């Protein structure tokens, strides 16, 4: 799994530890995508309710949202629970903005694909209780990264899925 920078990796590790979600691919994908940009990291409490363990749709209307931030937030929400701009019959956001055409028109598209792989179990994380420090998560991610690299070199993935060929 690749990260945009050290802050992205650190945010992801901290969120997985804080929420105890090392076995929850949906939340891991959410935090992976939200960790891409400084603003979405900074405003995480506007985006995610840690007490309720839920996304906050109100984040879509916050004044700090830029075109890049909103795209990252929308992608994260969509990966988390399939959100497409509506809750029931109530329209919260423009559903057209959740299509691949719109979401992937960004320099972050490669990272969005990484999040989809994470969501779909291409990357395996051990499910265990994480200790109070980051060493356990860092070790898991380092081990995972090494496993991914070895499977790439061997031309196989860690499960039965195959990479698409273009």
| Residues 82-118: tens digit of each pLDDT | 999 998 889 999 999 998 888 888 899 999 999 999 8
pLDDT higher than threshold 60 for residue 121: yes
Judge contact between 85 and 73, C-beta under 8 A.
Answer: no
Burial classification of residue 90, based on how many CB atoms lie within 10 Å of its CB (0-12 exposed, 13-18 middle, 19 or more buried): exposed
pLDDT at residue 123 above 90?
no
- Give me the pLDDT at residue 112, please: 93
Note the pLDDT tens digit of each residue in 34-89.
999 999 999 999 999 999 999 999 999 999 999 999 999 999 999 999 999 998 88
Angle between the 25-34 and 67-81 helix axes, to the nearest 10 degrees?
180
Residue 87 has which token pair?
Answer: 């809750």
Asked whether residue 150 carries a pLDDT value surpassing 60, the answer given is no
Do residues 47 and 53 touch, judged by C-beta distance below 8 A?
A: no
Phi, psi of 52 (to 5 degrees): -85, -10
Task: Identify the pLDDT of residue 164.
Answer: 39
């Amino acid at each position: 799994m690749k990260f945009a920078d050290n802050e992205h990796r650190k945010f992801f590790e901290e969120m997985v530890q804080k929420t105890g979600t090392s076995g929850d691919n949906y939340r891991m994908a959410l935090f992976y995508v939200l960790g891409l940009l400084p603003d979405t990291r900074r405003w995480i409490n506007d985006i995610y309710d840690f007490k309720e363990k839920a996304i906050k749709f109100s984040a879509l209307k916050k004044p700090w949202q830029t075109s890049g931030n909103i795209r990252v937030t929308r992608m994260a929400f969509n990966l988390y629970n399939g959100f497409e701009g509506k809750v029931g019959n109530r329209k919260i956001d423009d559903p057209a903005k959740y299509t691949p055409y719109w979401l992937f028109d960004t320099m972050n598209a490669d990272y969005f694909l990484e999040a989809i792989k994470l969501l779909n179990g291409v990357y395996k994380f051990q499910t265990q209780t994480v200790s109070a420090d980051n060493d356990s998560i860092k070790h898991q991610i380092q081990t995972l990264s090494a496993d991914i690299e070895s499977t790439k070199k061997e031309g196989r993935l860690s499960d039965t899925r195959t990479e698409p060929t273009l």
